[in-house]
Amino acid sequence: MREFSRTFSPGTSELFWCEKCMLPLLSANCSICNSIGSRVPISPPGDVRLCSRGGRELLRELFEENYGYAHFLDGRMILLNKIAGIDRRDQVILDGSHIATVWFDITASCHKLDLETAGASLLSGHAKKNIVVCHDSLLKGHIKGKWLARDLIISPSADDLNEGENVVLKIGKFAGVGVVRQRADGSKSIRIKDVTQRDFQLGDHKSTLQETILANESHLKGLEKTALGEIKDYLSRSRLPVNVSFSGGKDSLASLILGRKVLTRIEVLFINTGLEFPETVEYVREFCRSQKLRLHEIKADGNSSENSLAEGSFFANVQNFGPPAKDFRWCCKTNKLGPMTSFLEQQYPKGCVTIEGRRIYESFNRSTIKAVERNPYVPTQTTLAPIRNWRALEVMLYIYWNKMEPNPLYEEDFERIGCWLCPASLQSEFAHLKKSHPKLHSQWTRHLRAWAEANHLEDRYIDWGFWRWKRHPPKMIEIAADNKIDLQARGRESKEIALHAVRGRSPCGLEYSIEATLTAPQNHPFQGVAGALSMLGQVKYAEDLGAVVIKTDYGRATAFANGHIMITAGKSEAEELLRRVSETILRVQMCTRCRICMKNCDQGAITVNDTITIDEERCNHCGKCAEGCIAADQAAKIFRRLSKKGAAP
């Protein structure tokens, strides 16, 4: 998984700035003065959004802490553009210029600010801290990326500055950004990031939200016309009942607004997973009540009607599966897909059309969303995605244009409004959760620490967010290596054998998958298990992660030392792959070293000493080595027994 280091461009995303009205534009033309705006450079994917009240307070704190000056932010329209990073990383856009980048340092558990040249120009005459005055002679020749010589610094000395700090460089009429770094000899110095002669000053006019909406009205009308046309076109060819999936987030709210403009009576579906923010549950109920909408609140099994902190079915499943992860989202099946599927089958036996608020800018998985899709695991449900190409700023302006109020949690600097403990959330949002919802944060942290202790993992594995992956991205592995953090979850020793599995296509993904946990005696090291799994296909073993990936002609599986198994394949293929992986793991752990498998192998690909070893180049995956094998026969019987209990197919 490389989502931290790569980005994607699902569509052309542009941002403009009207120099006359001093307003941001979603397209080149300003609807107020009809002038052409100047293009604002933004990094892809370009899902620009409004800065919330909480985000504004964060920026004020950072600018005040770093430069002793933050008044320039007061009352001004601030935009944030999410860019690639291991965690939160946003370009800060003010008056049409990228002045800084705010990011979250997971190892320090705090936000930090990287200054850009426009920001340095803005601060050069006002900053009270971290400003370095340099001799004009510095401007001779190319200086970007070079070390700032000590004899060119008038004040203060680099030794008086902190490692990693961004400083404003004042060089005559020029302004620049430098970063304090420690050199090989241990001394501190300043590396020049960039220098500009541009005199960036803020305009006298402070744009308002209402003015921004008016400036973009033509663009918003165009978005609405296209979306309504798609909905009407499909519904004109369908006689199925129509509903809207409403999560309480901004995207589903925009879709609900569109749906109501097509149909006077529309039903609203809200999946209350039991893990929603209390504010979200209240918002959904109150919104539907005030708008006189028929709300179907679909609750996951074991959830209380008031979304209390009671230990429900989710936390019981944590005991079996461990915490969900970005690449191990068993929770989507148990708390979303399962309840939703049951409800749709009962409420709409002949099928239905659901308008959803999914957008291509949200993730790689959603970057290929189509206007109309058939739910492969609820064949009677057709989904429409009318705002799939909209950016976050377009969504929010559309909501306000329609005089609606979004979920109040957005103003608290939450970028996404979903399950409060979702592994897809940023670590910065978990840190924020500790302040905003301390009881929820404490509850989840207690479960995470208990799981970490059982799997012989240290506290930093939880505190720095490593639990959010099974297969860690390279940057997280690098951080772990630099800080000597063991990433291998080992699990408890157990003589009992059990298999717990959830299956299906989750709402968060595109493919059929199975997430399972196999508890078995640990008679042999996991390395032996990893080697034996090459009987099933091509394997790649990561010893530091305690994980092995198996690629077969019909699917992919990942097995972990702590017993977790993830399968991605077609439905029948996934079930077969789960069986084969589980039986192979059990076979290795119960191996009696009788060596019958060696005699059965015509390729000479298998040897048995302390455990089973496979020569991948010779193995043709024929399965003959299992014939007559006592351990293989026993493993098959165990799997069949587990099947009868409903844990396996």
> Do 279 and 314 fall within a single domain?
yes
> Do 185 and 254 fall within a single domain?
no
Given a cut of 70, whether residue 136 has pLDDT beyond it is yes
Report the alpha-carbon distance of residue 255 to residue 244 in Å, rounded: 7
Domain of 21 in residue numbering reads as: 16-196
Of 165, 196, 227, the residue at which a domain comes to its end is: 196
Q: Are 101 and 91 in contact (CB under 8 A)?
A: yes
Lowest mean pLDDT among 161-165, 211-215, 302-306: 302-306
Of 368, 395, 411, the residue at which a domain comes to its end is: 411
Given a cut of 70, whether residue 170 has pLDDT beyond it is yes
Given a cut of 50, whether residue 304 has pLDDT beyond it is no
Question: What are the phi and psi torsion angles at 138 (to 5°)?
Answer: -60, -25
Per the structure block, which two tokens stand in for 449? 């620490």
| Position 546 in a domain | yes
The candidate with the shortest Cα–Cα distance to 445, out of 467, 414, 426, 425, is 467
Report the alpha-carbon distance of residue 225 to residue 222 in Å, rounded: 5
| Position 485 in a domain | no
CATH number for the domain spanning 115: value is: 3.10.400
| Position 444 in a domain | no
> Do 179 and 301 fall within a single domain?
no
pLDDT tier, 305 (very low <50, low <70, confident <90, very high otherwise): very low
> Do 543 and 577 fall within a single domain?
yes
- Residue 384: predicted pLDDT: 96
CATH number for the domain spanning 233: value is: 3.40.50.620
CA angle 43, 47, 52 (to 5 degrees): 110
State the DSSP code for 248: S
Tens digit of each residue's pLDDT (9 = 90 or more) over 358-395: 998 876 455 567 889 887 657 789 999 999 999 999 99
Given a cut of 90, whether residue 647 has pLDDT beyond it is no
| Position 82 in a domain | yes
| Position 208 in a domain | no
Percentage of the chain modeled with pLDDT above 90: 58
Hey, what's the torsion of the CAs at 259, 46, 332, 343, to 10 degrees?
Answer: 0
> Do 362 and 222 fall within a single domain?
yes
> Do 174 and 231 fall within a single domain?
no
Question: What are the phi and psi torsion angles at 564 (to 5°)?
Answer: -75, 140
pTM (whole model) above 0.95: no
CATH number for the domain spanning 549: value is: 3.30.70.20
- Residue 363: predicted pLDDT: 60
> Do 178 and 309 fall within a single domain?
no
Given a cut of 60, whether residue 210 has pLDDT beyond it is yes
Report the alpha-carbon distance of residue 214 to residue 21 in Å, rounded: 11
pLDDT tier, 484 (very low <50, low <70, confident <90, very high otherwise): very high
Of 411, 433, 460, the residue at which a domain comes to its end is: 411
> Do 170 and 298 fall within a single domain?
no
Please report, for residues 90, 99, 527, the alpha-carbon distance to residue 585 in angstroms, rounded to integers and kept in the order given. Answer: 44, 54, 11
Q: Side by side, which strands form the sheet with 538-542?
A: 498-505, 512-519, 564-569, 555-560, 547-552, 538-542
Per the structure block, which two tokens stand in for 190? 């300043």
Token pair 């942290």: residue: 445
| Position 429 in a domain | no
> Do 85 and 179 fall within a single domain?
yes
- Residue 376: predicted pLDDT: 64
> Do 155 and 230 fall within a single domain?
no
640: Cα within 13 Å, side-chain hemisphere: 6
Among 152-161, 417-426, 515-524, the range with the most confident prediction by mean pLDDT is: 417-426
Report the alpha-carbon distance of residue 177 to residue 28 in Å, rounded: 31
What is the mean pLDDT of the segment spanning 228-243?
96
- Residue 302: predicted pLDDT: 46
| Position 461 in a domain | no
Q: What is the bridge-based pairing of β-strands 89-94 and 97-105?
A: antiparallel
Helix (H) or strand (E) holding 169: strand 166-171
> Do 319 and 172 fall within a single domain?
no
Report how many domains make up the chain: 3
pLDDT tier, 648 (very low <50, low <70, confident <90, very high otherwise): very low
Percentage of the chain modeled with pLDDT above 70: 92
> Do 179 and 251 fall within a single domain?
no
| Position 478 in a domain | no
